[in-house]
Structure 1
C-alpha cells in the first residue's frame, strides 16, 4: 500500500491526538514507559517485606546491623522494540474500528511513549502470508524496521507499518516473537501488539523474550469476540482461511456457550502472558483506547513509586 498525502495527514493527526491526550493524562518526571528495576544503582534503604532479596546491600547491612536493599533507577536511554502482529485475523471489527486499526493506533501510542527521552524504537511486523526467502524461518513474512530515536523515528516507524501490504494467510506469532528476540541485542523493552489468536507455542517464545526484556503484551479484542449479540443468523468468514460458517445468534444457549468458550480462550491467553512474566493490557475496539493506555501506564508508575 502506498501512503498518499491524505494518509500522511491522517497519521499526523493521530500522532497529534496521542501527544496531546497522553501528555495531558500522564504527568511527572520521565520514568520510562513501564518503570522497572532498571540497572543504574540508586540509594540504599531499609529492607521492607516484599522487597527482592536479590537487591540486598550487604555492606550497608553489615555496617548498620539492619537489612538494607540497594534501589535501582530506570535507564535513561533504552532501546525498545515493537512486535506487531497484523495478520488477517485483525481484519475484524463491529464497534467503531477494525482490530487492525486499533493495533496501528497502539503502535503509534507506544512508539511515542517509548521514544521519549532519546530512546530508540524499532519494530518487527508480520502481516501473515507466505514469506520471501530472507524472511521468517517458519515461512511467514516478517519485516524489521531498524530502531531510530525521537519523534521523527516514531513517525517513520508508523509510516513503514502502514505501508506494508496486507497478508493473505495466517500469521505466526511464535516466529514474530523469536525474530524480535534475535534483534534485541541488549536489555531493554519489548511491546507485543497482537490479538494472540494463534495455536502455536507463543507462550514459550514469550518467556524467552522476557529473559532479557521488560515485556508488555497489548491484546487487541472486539466486543463481539467476547459476547455475541442477538441479531439472528450471521454469515461469518474466517479472514485467514476464507472458511464460511452460519451462526444462529437467536439461540440463548448457543450464545451462553460462546461466551463461556470466549472467556476460557481469553483466560488461556492471560495465563500464557502471566506465565512469561510479562505485563498485560487489553484494548477493545469498543472503548477509549487512549484513556486505557494512559490509565495503565499511570497505574504502573504509581505502583513502581511505592516499591
Structure 2
C-alpha cells in the first residue's frame, strides 16, 4: 500500500515542541496509572519464583509447576515475583512513510508519543530504558527510459541509519533518549524492520520488556522471524501506527499521491467507487496479515490512529492488560 500523500519534513524546532507537549500530556494523564508490584506497561511475570496456584485456561504452559501438579494431581502453575529493576528496550521505526498524517497528528508524532508514554511508564524505580532507532534505507533507482540505461550512472542509494541508545536509569537520561529519537533525521527509503528488531536480540539480555513502534508496512516475512525470536525471552509489545487514508480513500476526485519512501508520484481518480473498494479491500488484507504475524509471534498488539485519541486508546489497552493479568491469563 502506498504511504499516502507526501508529508512535510519534521524540523528540530517542531520536534522539540511536539516532545514537550507530549511529555506534559503523558505526565498529567498517565501519572500513577501503572503502579504496583509488576514490571512495566505489560505487567511482566518477572523471574523470581513465587507461590503456585491452580492452572486456568489461558495460562502459559511454560510456567507449569510439575512437582506440585504431580503431588496434587491437579495442574498448577508457578507464580513469579516481578523484578525490582526492569530493562525496557524500544525499537523505533522512523521510515519516511511515517512523516505523513491526515488526522490530528503525523504518524511520526504518534511514534514519538508512544515512545514518550512507554518511557514515562517504565523509567521509575531505577528501571532502565534504551532504544534502537532506524531511519531510511536503500531506495531503488528508477528505471531509465533510454535503451542505453546500463551505461548511465545510477543515483546512489541512501544508506540506512540504525543506531543504539544505551539503557540507563533516571528521568534525565530518559529525556535525553527521547530528544535523540525526536531529533532523528528522516531519510528516504524504508527501514529494514527485521534488522532493527534483531538489534534487540544482540547481545542477549535478561528478561524484560521490548516495544516495537512502527507502521509495519514492510512485508511481514521481513520482520516476523526476528520478532518471534525476541518474544522467546522478552514480553513484546507491538505498537502499530495507522493513518485513516491508509485504510480507505476519500471521494475527492483526482488525488495526487506521492510515496515518501521512493518519491514516486501517481494521480488517482478517487471518484471511481470500484477503485476505492479495491483499495479498502487490499488495505484490510494487509492489516490482517500484520495482525496475524504479530499474534503468531506472541506479541501484544496496540494500534494507534492519527485521527483518534491515542492516549485514551493506550489507557484502555493498559486496563485490559491489567485485567487479564489479574484473572491469571497471559494476553
* 1:123 aligned to which of 121, 126, 131: 131
- 5+ unaligned residues in a row in structure 1: which ranges? 131-137
TM-score by length of 1: 0.89
SS in 1 for 2:289: helix
Q: Distance in 1 between matches of 2:305 and 2:18?
A: 21
In the alignment, is the contact (CA less than 8 A) between 2:251 and 2:270 conserved in 1?
A: yes
Partner of 1:305: 326
* Inter-CA distance 168–48: structure 2 relative to 1 (3 Å threshold): closer
CA drift at 1:217: 0.5
Q: How does 1:3-18 map to 2 (within 5 A)?
A: 3=12, 8=16, 10-18=18-26
Partner of 1:29: 36
* 1:105 aligned to which of 107, 113, 125: 113
Q: How does 1:137-148 map to 2 (within 5 A)?
A: 140-148=160-168
* 1:149 aligned to which of 140, 161, 169: 169
Offset from partner CA, 1:73-123 (integer Å, 9 cap, x none): 322211111000001011111111211111111111111112233210000
Q: Distance in 2 between matches of 1:13 and 1:184?
A: 35
* Inter-CA distance 83–51: structure 2 relative to 1 (3 Å threshold): closer
Partner of 2:241: 220
Q: Distance in 2 between matches of 1:42 and 1:15?
A: 36
* Inter-CA distance 185–260: structure 2 relative to 1 (3 Å threshold): same
Between stretches 48-57 and 74-83, larger displacement belongs to 48-57
* Inter-CA distance 68–30: structure 2 relative to 1 (3 Å threshold): closer
* 1:91 aligned to which of 85, 99, 112: 99
* Inter-CA distance 67–234: structure 2 relative to 1 (3 Å threshold): closer
- 2:185 equivalent to 1:168: no
Between stretches 15-24 and 292-301, larger displacement belongs to 15-24
Q: How does 1:18-97 map to 2 (within 5 A)?
A: 18-23=26-31, 26=33, 28-32=35-39, 33-61=41-69, 66-97=74-105
CA drift at 1:232: 0.9
SS in 2 for 1:118: coil
- Name the structure with the higher helix share: 1
Partner of 1:278: 299
C-alpha RMSD over aligned residues: 2.4
In the alignment, is the contact (CA less than 8 A) between 1:81 and 1:122 conserved in 2?
A: yes
In the alignment, is the contact (CA less than 8 A) between 1:169 and 1:240 conserved in 2?
A: yes
In the alignment, is the contact (CA less than 8 A) between 1:233 and 1:250 conserved in 2?
A: yes
Partner of 2:200: 180
Residues paired across the two proteins, number: 299
